Structure 1
Amino acid sequence: MKRVIVGLSGGVDSSVTAYLLKEQGYDVIGLFMKNWHDDSVTISNECPWLEDSNDALMVAEKLGIPFQTVDLSEQYKERIVDYMFNEYERGRTPNPDVLCNREIKFDVFMKIALDLGADYVATGHYCRKDTIEIKGKPVHRLLAGVDGNKDQSYFLCQLSQEQLSRTLFPIGELTKPEVRKIASENNLITAEKKDSQGLCFIGKVRLPEFLQQKLKPKEGQIIEVAAEEVLQKRTTPTFNTKNEELAFNAQKVSYSPTDGKVVGKHQGAHYFTKGQRKGLNVGGTPEPLFIIETDVDKNLIYTGQGKNHPGLFRKALFVTNDELHWVREDLALKVDQTMEVMARIRYRQPLQKATLYQVDGGLYVDFNQPQSAITEGQFVAFYQGEELIGSGVIS
């Protein structure tokens, strides 16, 4: 009997994960990760992790599997929270869920599991894994979940071959309604529980308030830039090489206060992100304002009217070599090589046709169609068919 340690989060997905593995004859242990207990930054008096750990405990008791809680809050603060504050201060928008998987669940947590004699770690992610052989060596493939509506492969885009070799995703073949049905047929307390929102494992914390704990409010101006102004800045020059064209298409437009008019005030450019519409509190425009750029150094926010404002769109993006990651190391491009892929720049975005171009300093992702709100600090993930082959931080 192979031993599997399940990250029991107190939600329905991980509960059914544990149930299925036990049915398949694995020696299953449930482990709850406590990642946060700094009560100064929880917004409500609710204590979500306590409620979640109780639910996880009750599921373990129902399934008759051993259960314990591990406190990873120190590592979580160091690797996730401090990183997030740092990124926001730089004017980038990090993705804590991708990082939490890479740094916590499949690193710190996985090491604890292996120390407990586990052969595998299992999580309730909607994705799949299979293993093929290339040149006599096993190669693990990370595949999209069967439920297109819930596919979470994007959140695992930073996993390595080593991490995948030790991982199981039992619900990847199921849809969410099927998972809930299994939970309710087996009287698991989490069957009807709502999916968790908020930061990965911090629970009911809202991001702006969370950021205000560390990044102090600082009043600045909101500037509205007309579409024509952007189009003038983006006149396309003639290019001598493909690299010049890629560099131009991946470049942000740079704005100055004279490019538009002041339409309001904000409490800190570092609280806002590109493509954001809510929270600006500026009315009276025919179409809603969207953020087209933030300048954290000068504490300015640039906005444009409507979701089709040209300031929102870019055709290409760049990933530096040190922030580029191949899940399939055997497919990594060499300088001057290209590859046709499908790509996405955020979790729920439908896959987009793109071409990868590897150059000296990194990788260009050149989309067939311009993309809205390409945001520094977020992850771009590349797919071939249903397989996620690599990813990188948008620079």
Structure 2
Amino acid sequence: MKSLAPRSASLLRNLLSKRLEQKLPPNLQVNGATVLSPKSPSLQGLFSSAANILWHSAKDSSHGPLALPTRSEALVGAWGSRCAAAFRPSFSPNYVPLATRGVQTSPPPGPTSFPVASPGKRRPVVAVGMSGGVDSAVSALLLQRAGYEVVGLFMRNWDAQEEDDAGQCSADQDLKDAKQACAHLGIPLHEVDFVRRYWTDVFEQFVAECARGLTPNPDLPCNRHIKFDALLHHALAQGADLLATGHYARLDSEGEGGARRLLRGKDPTKDQSYFLAQVESAPLERVLFPVGGSLKSEVRQLATDAGLLVANKRSSRGICFLGKRRFERFIAQYVPLQPGPFVNVGDGRPVGTHGGLAAYTNGQRARIGGSALPWFVVGKSVGDNAVFVARGEDHPALYSDTALVAPLFWVTGRPPRELLDGREMVCSYKARYVQRMGECTVRLVEGRAGMRSCRGFEKSSFSRVDIPELAEKEGAVHKRLLVRFKESERALTPRQALVLYDGDVCLGGGLLAHPGRTKYEMGESKEVDVLEQAAA
């Protein structure tokens, strides 16, 4: 072996290109369709990425110039083999990538929220759910540095072509960004179509509940049924050992051999454990959250340092299929919106006309003119097709001290021991994603089908919506959670998730069935009535 000083990146790229052209057919086909050729832009980008890796490995080597075999193309040839394998139509657990001699894998900087691959053994294959954003791209980067064999998976869950305003969908741009990130990292990207599965397991239920005047959150069932069921099983069936996503959450186990636990992400402003609370511990055994132990600012800096173009891409917010559209316009394509009255909780009189129950949620500002104080939604009456409103963002009709939660879900598959023993439990909670953690006391109660109250709880008269009753296996009794908040909670909304925490550990929770009687109903009305009269 002789020592060869590093050459320019262009020379390495040309060597790699030449070697790869020898390994690939003139046009690579999958299922009879030409996917790419060795001259395609995606492969040229991969050549550049591989050349840069070789260049920086040589440049940063503590052993001086990069040591190569006498035939200097051998190392480049190994990279060519890896790149050719990267564009196979599927990946296999029997595939063992060629080692890149002379190129050392470097561990991620600082502590990681996932194990580093053991040297000397077959590298585990990790499929990374690539969303086209910075978090999934950096997840793939960190896993590469930790010694894993990484492949990308891009999910397509929504067919925007069926909508009236299909141009609002960002999936095409996300796919483009995911492809660019994978090419830059030198990893393959596979597309997976879950449109039908998403429609049946997530969206149909979402539409049905909107039609009942409820406000469901589709992100929780999407994680449970699509990302950590359909996508996970697809990845494992194709030969991956693990699935990774860019969620800001962490995982650990309770003692040796204990069940997998879901923990809040390190960044409190980006923690996404709320959206993962319906995922049970069994599938989490095969899952990694590489950025869960990092701050968002650290993730963006890693992307910038690595040259990823998505480093400054804006994070997506809100419902995935909604995009930038107004919810009222979107839901009108699936749910008939019947106009009805806005009803003042103070005197029970109509103060305007709403455009349909499904278009409104508790705490939302109602577009009603003629008042110095703005109006806010405090509840709905499905039978009367009415939306209850009150003036002022902090009107006491918006606040409740209690709530009834059902159905329930638990990360470990069952409630904590204190609740099973019939005791109360003090824990932290979130009643919506964008809020600070609060403190509450919870206990399990039993109620039969059709009951709207139980001992120690009376629902608000402004919550006149129908909650689908989900019985236990024996079919007679429902387990419900009675929640008492340390501080009154604003705008509790039926069918939104209330997620419980014990410190950093996400326990699970349930869906809000009804808010308890509001502070306004409990008698805090005299001062408000005077203010309303003055505003009128």
RMSD: 1.7
Match of 2:485 in 1: 367
Match of 2:424 in 1: 338
State the distance in 1 between where 2:214 and 2:339 align.
19
State the distance in 2 between where 1:110 and 1:206 align.
32
1:204 Cα deviation after fit? 4.1
2:415 matches 1:306: no
Q: Deviations over 1:341-391 (max 9, x none)?
A: 011100021111111111223211111122111111110011111111121
Q: Which of 157, 162, 168 is residue 282 of structure 2 equivalent to?
A: 162
Match of 2:455 in 1: none
Q: Which of 148, 166, 174 is residue 294 of structure 2 equivalent to?
A: 174
Matches within 5 A, 1:141-220: 141-200=261-320, 203-220=323-340
2:310 matches 1:224: no
1:300 Cα deviation after fit? 0.7
Q: Which of 374, 399, 411 is residue 327 of structure 1 equivalent to?
A: 411
Q: Deviations over 1:147-191 (max 9, x none)?
A: 111111111111101121111111011111111111111111211
Do the aligned partners of 2:169 and 2:321 also contact (CA within 8 Å) in 1?
no
**3-state SS, counterpart of residue 173 of structure 1:** coil
Amino acid in structure 2 at the alignment position of 1:381 = V
2:137 matches 1:15: yes
Do the aligned partners of 1:42 and 1:204 also contact (CA within 8 Å) in 2?
no
Match of 1:250 in 2: none
Q: Deviations over 1:83-137 (max 9, x none)?
A: 111111112111111121111111111111111122211111111111232xx63
Do the aligned partners of 1:93 and 1:273 also contact (CA within 8 Å) in 2?
yes
Do the aligned partners of 1:102 and 1:158 also contact (CA within 8 Å) in 2?
yes
Q: Which of 64, 67, 72 is residue 186 of structure 2 equivalent to?
A: 64
Deviates more, 1:69-78 or 1:35-44: 35-44
Amino acid in structure 1 at the alignment position of 2:428 = M
2:245 matches 1:123: yes
Q: How many residues get paired?
A: 357
**3-state SS, counterpart of residue 29 of structure 1:** strand
Gaps of 5+ in 1: 227-258
Amino acid in structure 2 at the alignment position of 1:368 = K
1:202 Cα deviation after fit? 5.8
Do the aligned partners of 1:43 and 1:209 also contact (CA within 8 Å) in 2?
no
Do the aligned partners of 2:160 and 2:166 also contact (CA within 8 Å) in 1?
no
Amino acid in structure 1 at the alignment position of 2:178 = A
**3-state SS, counterpart of residue 359 of structure 1:** strand
**3-state SS, counterpart of residue 260 of structure 1:** coil
Match of 1:5 in 2: 127
Do the aligned partners of 2:127 and 2:244 also contact (CA within 8 Å) in 1?
yes
2:219 matches 1:101: no
Match of 1:270 in 2: 358
1:331 Cα deviation after fit? 2.1
Amino acid in structure 1 at the alignment position of 2:309 = I
Q: 1:145 to 1:122 in 2, by over 3 A?
A: same
Which structure has the higher relative contact order (CA within 8 Å, separation 6+)?
1
Q: Which of 441, 445, 459 is residue 355 of structure 1 equivalent to?
A: 441
**3-state SS, counterpart of residue 137 of structure 1:** coil
Match of 1:114 in 2: 236
Gaps of 5+ in 2: 1-122, 447-478, 514-536
Matches within 5 A, 1:36-51: 36-41=158-163, 43=165, 45-51=167-173
1:336 Cα deviation after fit? 2.4
2:373 matches 1:287: yes
Match of 1:318 in 2: 404
Do the aligned partners of 2:160 and 2:169 also contact (CA within 8 Å) in 1?
no
Larger radius of gyration: 2
Q: 1:201 to 1:264 in 2, by over 3 A?
A: closer
Amino acid in structure 2 at the alignment position of 1:260 = G
Do the aligned partners of 1:335 and 1:358 also contact (CA within 8 Å) in 2?
no
State the distance in 1 between where 2:213 and 2:388 align.
13
State the distance in 2 between where 1:142 and 1:28 align.
23
Fraction of identical pairs, as percent? 39
Q: Deviations over 1:228-268 (max 9, x none)?
A: xxxxxxxxxxxxxxxxxxxxxxxxxxxxxxx4221111111
Amino acid in structure 2 at the alignment position of 1:78 = T
Amino acid in structure 1 at the alignment position of 2:344 = E
**3-state SS, counterpart of residue 195 of structure 1:** coil
Q: Deviations over 1:176-229 (max 9, x none)?
A: 111111111111121111112342256444422221101123221111222xxx
